[in-house]
Structure 1
Amino acid sequence: MPQVDYAALTQSFASFVPSERIYTDPLRTLAYGTDASFYRLTPKIVVVAESEAEVLGLVALCRGQGAPVTFRAAGTSLSGQAVTDSVLIVLGEGFGGFAYDDEAQVARLGPAIVGGEANRRLLPFKRKIGPDPASIATAKIGGIAANNASGMCCGVGQNSYHTLASMRLVLADGAVLDTADPKSVARFRDSHKALLDGLAAVSADIRADQKLSARIAEKYRRKNTTGYAINALIDFSDPLDILTHLMIGSEGTLGFLSRVDYRTVPEYADKASAFVLFADLEKACRAVTALKSTPVEAVELLDRASLESVKTKKGMPVDVDTLGPDASALLIEARAPDAEDLGRRIAVILEAIDAASTLNGVAFSHDPQETARYWDMRKGTFPAVGGKRPAGTTVIIEDVAFPVERLAEATMDLRALMNAHGYTEAIIFGHALEGNLHFVFAQGFESPDEIKRYAGFMEAVAELVVGKYDGSLKAEHGTGRNMAPFVEREWGKAATDVMRRVKKLLDPQNLFNPGVVLNDDAEVHLKNLKPMPAVTPLIDACIECGFCEPQCPSKGLTLSPRQRIASSREIRRLRCDAPGAPELAAMEKDYLYFGDTTCAACSLCSTVCPLEIDVGRYTRSLRAQRRGSVAKLAAYTVARNFGAVTKAGRAGLALGVAAEGVVGTTVMATVSSVANKVLGTPRWSRAMPRPALATPAPAPTPADGAPVIFFESCSSRMMGPASEDNSEPLAVVAARVFGRAGFRLVTPEGIEDLCCGQLFDTKGFPDAADLKARELVERLGSADPIPVIFDASPCASRIKAFSGPRFQAMDLLQFLREKVAPRLTLSKAKDPIAVHATCTLRKAGLAPALMELAGMCAEAVIAPPGVTCCGFAGDKGFYTPELNDHALRHLSEALPDDCAEGYSTNRTCEIGLSSHSGRRYRSILHLVDEASR
């Protein structure tokens, strides 16, 4: 490769890609260059591309400079195929396209749409894509196709290779081919005749070699992602079909997939799952062999160590501690178009398994919630093991396939091999129906001895899988760098030479992702290993899988939770190994904004993390560490004089409203936006509230009703409705609604000075936060506790942590759904309404209750997909408005024109939602009030 002038290349990129989407600084190149594998390469340039035209321009410039290019979708790949030390092109939202041809039952998907989101959009058609990797809620279509990822239920027949309908791709020479467009196909056949003839020649050579053809056919009867999909060379005769199917599983080394069209498969509503225990692995594997010929959808194997790793997870139906040392389990699923057919299929499955050979019989559950917990538990095995590894080590997951008829023997051999190399804590699980096993173990790379141990183990694995069982060294996770040195070991020289010919034909400059899939360096799998230094127990368990990212409001704006953790680890490493390094100072400086200021600290990442790692809590801990004595004294002073602070807040709003009345909303918003960027002052918008009434007159309530206290958050006590909103004060509405349901509203004296402490906690003042929380509990608690209803979900959640037997804290939503609504007659609004479940509701599992309550009050309820945390984050919507802007960038387009009202459970969230949707968002209490009149 020629010497690349990356500075000049960066300038060239900036000529047609906005500079805010080009990263060369140490922090973001490190963060965006991190994937789920145990390899670390830091790109020289990261570019977020939003269109095919941008990709074509970037590739052309890289081709001219000889700069290698790697494409990145979600970065959930595990084998080192999405890292580079050159140019990394990250797919932006512009590649998130979705279209469905109902007649052909084909989904046309952009490479940046998440697999789970594609399935959500296909659900109304009762269809789904075939591949179903465990990472489908995070993995994107580009990566799923480029790695030929399969999963728990799709087997071989429904993977990307076998369900591909057509595609649009970009080759290394800049050619674009859309196989769904006859004109594009005709042009390509003419312009790239030599390429297509070359592929035809390779295919002819293979067909002439009967031994090689037979070997290829046999290898692809089971899962196999080692090397290229050279089965395309014998499965198809048209070079165009060969080309497109070679792209599947090519890991970005042969071309860029700018659209993938799948023939969808049925999504059956009738499903049932069984969790079956066996005394040992051998008995479980024998049952798998028996199940192979039955109409079963999936069979997942978990060994004793796997069960131990997830024994505390929700959904575990047995007490793992009571099981013997060799116990194993099968998670079995059956699906059918209707209940009657499902019953027949289950009957066949039951006949195949001898219930007497099990520890708990074979009982299928039809309960969707229960079976979902089974499968969530299974998906959590890999991350759960990673979370329990020793600090400073990494977690490695290998992915092999054996002939199903020899699965029991092979599994026992694999366990013995791991024990012999000192990996006694490793777990074995996987898609047993396909003979596909994953084994997970902790590995340190800090010393030469540890690296030597790993190298020896991998050699032994290759010998076992290939030498003894002629299996697949990579069944579904892709070759990457991890298995590239072993491709020829598995395939032999003839087949590997075919792969080299394919690469040379399609990418003669070795421009795309060099070193991945094919690599002549026999030790590449032992190089560029990712350091995992211990930082804090709050994040040390993270394996950087990326499952957290879709929930994060700042992902795509600055950093995601995974990127915050990866950056923190690198900063810690540099502090220890290179304290004077210039990149350390740059990373520490930039992290203040990219890692801290723009973190909403909403903790939604913990709700999808299999290890429940809370990066929001980590961020709050960093803020607390940075607070000096002066800042802490100021926070303590504010806490002690909180009543005066709320009055000052109302006075400030009054001034703002007055100024808006003089200069107009547009001028006010423009001036405040400039001031926000220059001075850090709050940004104004049309949805900004008027000051709340200091002492609103509550409506009368029944004298003999059950007493309740309604506690308004400090934001509600400061912020009333927006200027154009004539809604009544919340306390007045609460008194009226509670009274209708037979409750008597009690208003204690002196609550103006009370606060739950949430705003202090998020800013890094935990002592002041706890001071206010204790004060509130002591003031409103009593020997005969009266329920205290909090209008804001974050406040209710925080106070519950301090609640003792003398205090009954309840979220307003929970109180309305469980206590109030059953006592009222509710009429449904005809027009659709929008609802937003706050982060706190989601974490507390109350989001379904919000939908239920809203559904009792309106004919149509819309919870816009893709909107998680609103990003307002207390007061960040005022002072760091770009976070709120980014989090709600798709809100308005997700709501129909006839939806004019929205509801939530937190005042500041409602301000941001109103501003970005153009609709009025208010407390859910207003909806119940109007429905119960």
Structure 2
Amino acid sequence: MSLPAAFLRDAQRLIPPERRFDDPLSTLAFGTDASFYRLIPKLVLRVESEEEVITLLKLAHAERVPVTFRAAGTSLSGQAISDSVLIVLGDSWNGRDIRRGGSQIRLQPGVLGAQANAWLAPFGRKIGPDPASINACKIGGIVANNASGMCCGTAQNTYHTLAGMRLVLADGSAVDSEDAASVDAFRSSHAQLLEQLAELGRTTRANSELAAKIRHKYRLKNTTGLSLNALVDYDEPLDILTHLLVGSEGTLGFISAVTYDTVLDHPHKASALVVFPDVETCCTAVTALKSQPVSAVELLDRRSLRSVQDKPGMPAFVRELSANACALLIESRAASQSLLHEQMALIMASLAPFPVEKQVDFSTDPVVYNQLWAIRKDTFPAVGAVRQIGTTVIIEDVTFPIEHLAAGVNRLLALFEKHRYDEAILFGHALEGNLHFVFTQAFETPEQVARYSAFMDDVAQLVAVEFGGSLKAEHGTGRNMAPFVELEWGHDAYQLMWQLKRLLDPRGILNPDVVLSEDPHIHLKHLKPLPAADEIVDKCIECGFCEPVCPSKELTLSPRQRVVIWREIQAQKRAGLDASALERAFQYQGLDTCAATGLCAQRCPVGINTGDLVRKLRARTATHQGSANWLAAHFATALKGARFTLLAANGVRRVLGAPLLEKASTSLRQASGNRLPQWTAAMPQAAQPIRFTPPAADQRPRVVYLAACVSRAMGPSFSDSEQMPLIDKTRALLEKAGYQVVFPNNQDNLCCGQPFASKGYAAQADSKRRELIDALLKASRGGLDPIYCDTSPCALRLLQDGLDERLKLHDPVKFIREHLLERLEFKQQDTPVAVHITCSTQHLGESQGLIDIVQRCTSQVVIPEGIHCCGFAGDKGFTTPELNAHSLRSLKDAVQICKEGISTSRTCEIGLSQHGGIDYHGLVYLVDRVTTAKAV
């Protein structure tokens, strides 16, 4: 059924075409969230203001058009998908207001949870919720799902730390609980609604049996159904309304802003791992820990421990644990080191009466601490990594009353065996009786769906009926548990939820079939296929953790969406369908605009590098093998050609002037079908060839200087305040530090192979890489001398595929950190400096090293928020400049107080200079400026 013409007409007038999507590729890409459901929206609208949301809701309300709101799409129960209209948050929902020394923070719904905590960190505070997805999920989803986490419990979730809210109801009316004028206007315009809420509160509180049940249910971690506790905890109708919105999953209104009372983030922490011989002992120990100064207690059953026991860094004893072993990972935090040690002693004393099979004592050592938490964090990915292709990973989320935790664990384990989920594992936030169980499930046949249905029926009966627990503790009801809400809550409470739904959304347009559904089988419909597509990405569970670091997200596709589309293309081909239209669209959306830098792999729970898939697919269309072979064999000639082109462009600039040349370049690029690169004022001038001098016979330590091909071809731009080429500046700095600088022979013909690899010419890339390694072995006297590579992407290219162990290769950060700091005197300046941490620097593990070096150079270090990759990607800034522009769209505002920026990639610096409005240079320029040679 199509959308009403009147709604489409008015929506088109309101939302510009670049933020309106109804083509098959886009709707399929947006039809996926982190759950195991899929719905394809008829229309996707990216909104940038509350006014747009209000107008759209008024239109939807008038035309009875269902709408669903989407923030990050990391929800696990199917609450962020729609087969009608999907409203997605755009860039402009990132506002914050920090108040009262950090004790409160007001946030818009597009703010990442981790970003909110980064803003609060200088105040020693954080928001209460701490979901595992905090690096990817957004405040809108955190509030709408009443998400919690490992340390949050119930006391610090959104419901209990809510200080204020701005919301929009289904009819398009808005109210801000912190704005007296807004409240007065709303009380006037919606007096009847508020009175009905107040009356529902009064009748609920007067019903002693129902009120007691509600209070009992929320003594546990509970996100099943609507937040009925609002009716017993508050009598002011606006307070009832704002707290009803928490956990409503977009079914009662749109959350436009939220104010949190923040919580302390203690700086000192320690963790221990204690393994008990059986589940009963372990769960009894949890009861003892309930009164102790613990911030987190994570339970891991033997299955979950077994899933990670062979991972690097795991304690050896994990493999040797008994069959019924059950572990607690315990964390304690404190304001001081001395208090922390007191707490550690109290905790261990409380566990003394219990038999222990193995334990790792409390440690404040970050290495030990992180190793222990890796056990817990790797359990979910471990199941995903071993699942059969075509199955999905399901993570369920229940709560047992703490006094029944041991029985609940054992009964769940019995259900795994009954329904033959042999790979299932169990872990969870033990202090709250909150257990997660992870299993794999296929939905390809009726028998497989029936097996899942029978299992969920048994789980619902066990948790909700037998033990009086919660079927959803923190992941939200979604579609997944909507059919079981009445089973858990009973008839009266369930009907009360429907009363609230019909009061606030009388036409049922807000996220239908989520939380409340009249379809008893909604949890078995719209199940998402995960067909085989390519071994590189087949383990993808479409969680969306990769998306925040992707430069093409919101320009075209994110890594998750690339996988979704490629899976569909392959599925259509296997079914004998014509996938050519989707493939044509995917060429630009999926391949041409992918930076392929692999940052997605760092965020992926199973380490998938979607860039590897993109390079593989590019190789299929890499048809210019002859040209690639010629270029590899005549690289020095090509380098001369690049210098000549830059020289010619600069000559034209001298004649025409920069503004006219830029305008002419734009016209030529358009006329060429975007095949010609765009000239900008940040475009480099030609570099001079290296003035090679043979090594002198002196006593200075030698360093082999590997100048990247971009450094050999590209000098500073004509407008750059620094006109000394990178090679000359680097050589001067190295010599200042007392090094003798030598270059490999035949350097202009050398290349790490990255330009070939990124275009899909793997054979030529490997050939150039091997040629370079041979030259470096010779220049370094068989590895005797360290090698300095002046561009971090080239260093990464050489290191990531396994470098000859004799070679000691360093990127700029590592060499300065390990070899120059001890040889130079630093005089810190006060000028603000912007720092861009390149993708390659992140992959090399040198991000903090770069920041530390810059902090030696200046007291004011500016790291722009939300820019993880510049999108220049070697040459994408020339060939696909929209990717670079999109990735750096917020840079200029972020660095406006700076006069200079630094990086470790010459090509990245071109785009950074262009879009930041300041000159970006290599790190060596800054280090050279603030240092002198240390006296011997």
- The equivalent residue for 1:151 is 149
Partner Cα separation in structure 1 for residue 369 and residue 343 of structure 2: 17
Contact 1:297 1:334 in 2 (8 A): yes
SS of the residue 1:357 aligns to: coil
Contact 2:753 2:769 in 1 (8 A): yes
C-alpha displacement at 1:72, in angstroms?
Answer: 0.2
Paired residues for 1:212-231 under 5 Å = 212-231=210-229
Tell me if 1:670 matches 2:670. no
Which amino acid is the alignment partner of residue 603 of structure 1?
Answer: G
- The equivalent residue for 1:475 is 473
Which amino acid is the alignment partner of residue 930 of structure 2?
Answer: A
C-alpha displacement at 1:703, in angstroms?
Answer: 2.2
Instruction: Say what the alpha-carbon RMSD is for the aligned residues.
Output: 1.9
Q: Residue 611 of structure 1 is aligned with which of 606, 630, 638? A: 606
Moved more, 103-112 or 428-437: 103-112
Q: Residue 324 of structure 2 is aligned with which of 323, 326, 339? A: 326
Tell me if 1:919 matches 2:936. no
- The equivalent residue for 2:701 is 706
- The equivalent residue for 1:166 is 164
Partner Cα separation in structure 2 for residue 931 and residue 226 of structure 1: 59
Tell me if 1:771 matches 2:770. no
- Structure 1 residues 844 and 513: alpha-carbon distance in aligned structure 2, compared to 1, 3 A threshold: same
Moved more, 18-27 or 696-705: 696-705
C-alpha displacement at 1:356, in angstroms?
Answer: 6.1
* Structure 1: tracts of 5 or more residues without a match: none
Q: Residue 546 of structure 2 is aligned with which of 548, 554, 566? A: 548
Partner Cα separation in structure 2 for residue 878 and residue 326 of structure 1: 60
- The equivalent residue for 1:737 is 733
SS of the residue 1:454 aligns to: helix
Partner Cα separation in structure 2 for residue 226 and residue 760 of structure 1: 53
SS of the residue 1:519 aligns to: coil
Q: Residue 742 of structure 2 is aligned with which of 726, 746, 766? A: 746
C-alpha displacement at 1:31, in angstroms?
Answer: 0.9
C-alpha displacement at 1:742, in angstroms?
Answer: 2.9
Moved more, 134-143 or 197-206: 197-206
Partner Cα separation in structure 1 for residue 312 and residue 622 of structure 2: 38
* Structure 2: tracts of 5 or more residues without a match: none
Partner Cα separation in structure 1 for residue 791 and residue 388 of structure 2: 40
- The equivalent residue for 1:200 is 198
Which amino acid is the alignment partner of residue 711 of structure 1?
Answer: L
Which amino acid is the alignment partner of residue 803 of structure 1?
Answer: L
Partner Cα separation in structure 2 for residue 560 and residue 734 of structure 1: 37
Contact 2:106 2:258 in 1 (8 A): yes
Contact 2:569 2:583 in 1 (8 A): yes
Paired residues for 1:77-96 under 5 Å = 77-96=75-94
Contact 1:4 1:66 in 2 (8 A): no
Tell me if 1:660 matches 2:653. yes
- The equivalent residue for 1:720 is 715
C-alpha displacement at 1:119, in angstroms?
Answer: 0.7
Paired residues for 1:328-727 under 5 Å = 328-354=326-352, 357-361=355-359, 363-368=361-366, 370-577=368-575, 579-580=577-578, 584-628=579-623, 631-679=624-672, 680=674, 681-696=676-691, 703-725=698-720, 726-727=722-723
Moved more, 693-702 or 809-818: 693-702
Moved more, 55-64 or 130-139: 55-64
C-alpha displacement at 1:597, in angstroms?
Answer: 0.7
- The equivalent residue for 2:927 is 928
Deviations 1:338-395 (A, max 9, x none): 2333233222212211276223346222234543453354234223312221111001
- Structure 1 residues 135 and 925: alpha-carbon distance in aligned structure 2, compared to 1, 3 A threshold: same
C-alpha displacement at 1:835, in angstroms?
Answer: 2.0
Moved more, 669-678 or 867-876: 669-678
SS of the residue 1:70 aligns to: strand
Partner Cα separation in structure 1 for residue 739 and residue 360 of structure 2: 50
C-alpha displacement at 1:313, in angstroms?
Answer: 5.2
Contact 1:40 1:528 in 2 (8 A): yes
Partner Cα separation in structure 1 for residue 361 and residue 912 of structure 2: 47
Partner Cα separation in structure 1 for residue 251 and residue 693 of structure 2: 68
- The equivalent residue for 1:823 is 823
Contact 1:113 1:141 in 2 (8 A): yes
Contact 1:698 1:732 in 2 (8 A): no
Deviations 1:71-106 (A, max 9, x none): 000000000111110000001121111111116822
Q: Residue 42 of structure 1 is aligned with which of 28, 40, 43? A: 40
- Structure 1 residues 62 and 805: alpha-carbon distance in aligned structure 2, compared to 1, 3 A threshold: same
Which amino acid is the alignment partner of residue 706 of structure 1?
Answer: P
- The equivalent residue for 2:174 is 176
How many residue pairs get aligned? The number is: 925
Contact 1:270 1:336 in 2 (8 A): yes
Partner Cα separation in structure 2 for residue 803 and residue 396 of structure 1: 39
Deviations 1:294-322 (A, max 9, x none): 12111111112222333455664454222
Partner Cα separation in structure 2 for residue 171 and residue 369 of structure 1: 48
Deviations 1:469-514 (A, max 9, x none): 1110111111100000000110111110000100010001001001
- The equivalent residue for 1:845 is 845
Q: Structure 1-normalised TM-score?
A: 0.96
Moved more, 559-568 or 858-867: 858-867
SS of the residue 1:825 aligns to: strand
Partner Cα separation in structure 2 for residue 308 and residue 157 of structure 1: 32
Contact 1:689 1:720 in 2 (8 A): yes
- Structure 1 residues 767 and 51: alpha-carbon distance in aligned structure 2, compared to 1, 3 A threshold: same
Partner Cα separation in structure 2 for residue 312 and residue 672 of structure 1: 56
Partner Cα separation in structure 2 for residue 312 and residue 798 of structure 1: 28
Tell me if 1:63 matches 2:58. no
Deviations 1:795-847 (A, max 9, x none): 11222235324543322321121012212222222312222221111011111
SS of the residue 2:428 aligns to: strand
Which amino acid is the alignment partner of residue 651 of structure 1?
Answer: F
- The equivalent residue for 1:872 is 872
- The equivalent residue for 1:884 is 884
Deviations 1:558-600 (A, max 9, x none): 11111111111122222222513xxx33321111111111100
Contact 2:102 2:262 in 1 (8 A): no
Which amino acid is the alignment partner of residue 618 of structure 2?
Answer: R
C-alpha displacement at 1:135, in angstroms?
Answer: 0.5
Moved more, 678-687 or 456-465: 678-687
- Structure 1 residues 865 and 23: alpha-carbon distance in aligned structure 2, compared to 1, 3 A threshold: same
Partner Cα separation in structure 1 for residue 599 and residue 503 of structure 2: 46
- The equivalent residue for 1:99 is 97
Which amino acid is the alignment partner of residue 675 of structure 1?
Answer: L
Contact 1:557 1:883 in 2 (8 A): yes
- The equivalent residue for 1:860 is 860
Partner Cα separation in structure 2 for residue 20 and residue 881 of structure 1: 17
Q: Structure 2-normalised TM-score?
A: 0.96
Which amino acid is the alignment partner of residue 882 of structure 2?
Answer: E
Contact 1:26 1:586 in 2 (8 A): no
Partner Cα separation in structure 2 for residue 252 and residue 67 of structure 1: 15
Partner Cα separation in structure 2 for residue 189 and residue 884 of structure 1: 48
Which amino acid is the alignment partner of residue 609 of structure 1?
Answer: C
Partner Cα separation in structure 1 for residue 830 and residue 593 of structure 2: 39
C-alpha displacement at 1:58, in angstroms?
Answer: 1.4
